[in-house]
Structure 1
Amino acid sequence: MDNADEQAAQVRRELDGRLHNVEMMARTHRHPKFVVKEMESMYLEELKSSINILKSNLESLPVSKGGTDSKYSLQKLKRYN
């Protein structure tokens, strides 16, 4: 994806998919077995919380229109992957 907006939209879709998977996991009780029953709900809440934190971090990043000299350009981001 060449456009930063497209990349952000793709990441948002992936995070929404992860959140949907967590909700399905909660409904079908398909998650790791825990010693204490209360830990199941804590585990699911932690997963949801981590996804929401990632979403908020994504929303806080500036989307630049610039070329290769911008701070968050595509070329610079590709170097870190």
Structure 2
Amino acid sequence: MLSHEPVLAEQTKTWKFLELWIDPVLFPPKILMLVGDQDGTCRIFNPASDYKLVVAHSNYQAAQEWLLEDEYERIQGQLLAEEVL
């Protein structure tokens, strides 16, 4: 099995914030993780699929619109890298 450690280690150096988004219509709810990087790009991962990259956007607004279009709702708050690193 391939390890994600080198990729994840590199990503931890570049992320600025993390948000959880939920699809409240489904049960159990589907959760996606939006990661905002230092350069302004945003990537959306699926924790239920071994953190597979779902989509990447050049900015937060585009990522947020993509999630809202699919009727996801943001779970209140952000986890900031500076608070955990």
TM-score tier after normalising by the smaller chain length: under 0.3
TM-score normalised according to structure 2 size = 0.23
- Name whichever structure is richer in helix by fraction: 1
- Name whichever structure is richer in strand by fraction: 2
| Higher RCO, 1 vs 2 (CA within 8 Å, ≥6 residues apart) | 1
The structure number with the bigger radius of gyration is 1
